[in-house]
Amino acid sequence: MGHESRSERTPTRREYLTYGSALVGSGLLAGCLGSGGNESPSGADDDVPAETDARTETTSATTEAKSEAATETDTPTEPSYSVSMVPVGEVAFEDVPETWVANNGSWADMGIALGLEPPKGVWLTNRYHTHYYDEIPGVSVEKSDMVSLYQDGVSKERFYALDADVHVIDPNFLLNRFSDWDEGDVAEIERDVGPFFGNSIYAQHYPWHSDYRYYTLYEAFEKLAQVFQRTEYFEAFEAIHDDFQATLAPVVPGQGERPEVAVLWGVGDQPEEFYPYVIGEGTGFKHLNDLEVRDALASTDIKDFHGSRAAIDLETLLEVDPEVLLLRGYEGLSESEFEDTVVASLEKHATASALTAVENGDVYRAGGLYQGPITNMILTERTARHLYGVEGELFDRERVAAVVNGEF
């Protein structure tokens, strides 16, 4: 299925932005459609159970009014630049996008690093942990008006209401996660609202993503910088990241000196079950890979959550008895709140209290799945402090703030 020509339809409000996408009608959009809007209670694809908010959707009358507002005399202009990314292909822009939505905190954080206004919407706002920016002087993100794309499903009307110039979302995520979205829906939103531009980069476990490439954090970041014509921001952050990596290398101990770590998703604030994560590739594991974390689960028979969708109990975890526990799902808690609730419950539990990590006080938050250039450095530094006893700052906060504010 291809895009209908501009001469065959009524022009829309966004005739100033044109695009040539290879995604519609290509095999890249093929895949096994999901059975519904909610999957497992946790995991890399959806973190936690979906939460809704009470925002009002636009009505069909609003959509019709948008269409009627356009005139047949509108004439699109030639695109001035284009950016290519799989699986969406080459997307051409007449003007630099001003408004946008993001699939998750990885892409949202890239936008903040580029000095952009925050996205108008993300998948779930409670999973975009903007409190990380408290670490950076003069940088903050207000979420009060930000919309959750997922509200007991994903409505096309929400895309119309947000009216974004570009949707930084892998369309395959929509097509394969929700049975009520098909290629025609993606094409409609691209035609009537704005193009999709994205790739599901935070983990590498989706079967529908097996036939096209992933991007590293900085490869994706560079693509987004090209979309918003802010490559100077990207280059400045790339230099900061290079210096950060150089600073990080000497603080990582030799393999024999690094503790064995189990990365788990705790179920509830008093967890007795855990979803196991074998450390893999993707932006959600970048901080762990950069720190060369020794994975206590990798050599066991415990199946990774991505493949098994199964939890393990405390008795099974005690058999592994890792030196350190890194728990996901608690980034909404401060360090003290985490210790007072999750850690305290493990210390009081008859079985959990026998774990070496609990006995030694080595239970920490694991860091979010959705990491961008700023949040990754914050989480990597935090994890280095917990695992390796690193003191002080490993990157220059003032330098980060300066780039965000356009000072290079």
| Domain 250-404: CATH class, spelled out | alpha beta
Of residues 379 and 70, more confidence is placed in 379
pLDDT for 121 equals: 98
What is the biggest distance separating any 2 CA atoms in the chain, rounded to whole angstroms?
A: 74
Tell me the mean pLDDT in the region 119-135: 96
Length of the chain: 408
The whole-model pTM stands at 0.83
pLDDT for 77 equals: 55
Residue 19 has pLDDT above 50, yes or no: no
Report pLDDT digits (tens) over 199-228. 999 999 899 999 999 999 999 999 999 999
pLDDT for 50 equals: 31
Cα angle, residue 32 at apex, residues 28 and 35 outer, rounded to 5°: 135
Report pLDDT digits (tens) over 316-337. 999 999 999 999 999 999 999 9
Most confident of 4-13, 52-61, 69-78, 85-94: 85-94
pLDDT for 281 equals: 94
Burial of 357 (C-beta count, 10 Å sphere; 0-12/13-18/19+) = buried
Residue 65 has pLDDT above 50, yes or no: no
Least confident of 12-21, 73-82, 374-383: 12-21
Q: Where are the domains of the chain?
A: 6-229, 250-404
- Asked if the domains 6-229 and 250-404 are classified in one and the same CATH topology, the answer is yes
Structure tokens at 339: 């210790």
Residue 38 has pLDDT above 90, yes or no: no
Structure tokens at 309: 């969708």
Nearest-angstrom CA–CA distance, 85 and 195: 12
What are residue 122's DSSP bridge partners? 148
Residue 314 has pLDDT above 70, yes or no: yes
> Which residues are CB-neighbours of 74 under 8 A, at least 6 positions away?
11, 15
Nearest-angstrom CA–CA distance, 275 and 312: 6
Residue 401 has pLDDT above 50, yes or no: yes
Question: Tokens 């995520």 label which residue?
Answer: 173
One of 3.30.559.10, 3.40.50.720, 3.40.50.1980, 3.30.70.2740 is the CATH number of 6-229, namely 3.40.50.1980
Tell me the mean pLDDT in the region 237-260: 97
Cα angle, residue 175 at apex, residues 84 and 154 outer, rounded to 5°: 110
CB 192 within 8 A of CB 17: no
**Closest CA relative to residue 251, chosen from 364, 395, 363, 356:** 395
Percent of the chain residues topping a pLDDT of 70: 80
Q: Considering the chain, what is the average pLDDT of its residues?
A: 85
pLDDT for 78 equals: 65
pLDDT for 308 equals: 74
Residue 348 has pLDDT above 60, yes or no: yes
pLDDT for 25 equals: 37
Nearest-angstrom CA–CA distance, 149 and 153: 8
Of residues 275 and 13, more confidence is placed in 275
pLDDT for 52 equals: 29
Q: What is the DSSP string of 273-292?
A: EEEEE---SSGGGHHHHHTT
Least confident of 49-53, 134-138, 160-164: 49-53
pLDDT for 67 equals: 39
**Closest CA relative to residue 87, chosen from 176, 223, 197:** 197
pLDDT for 45 equals: 43
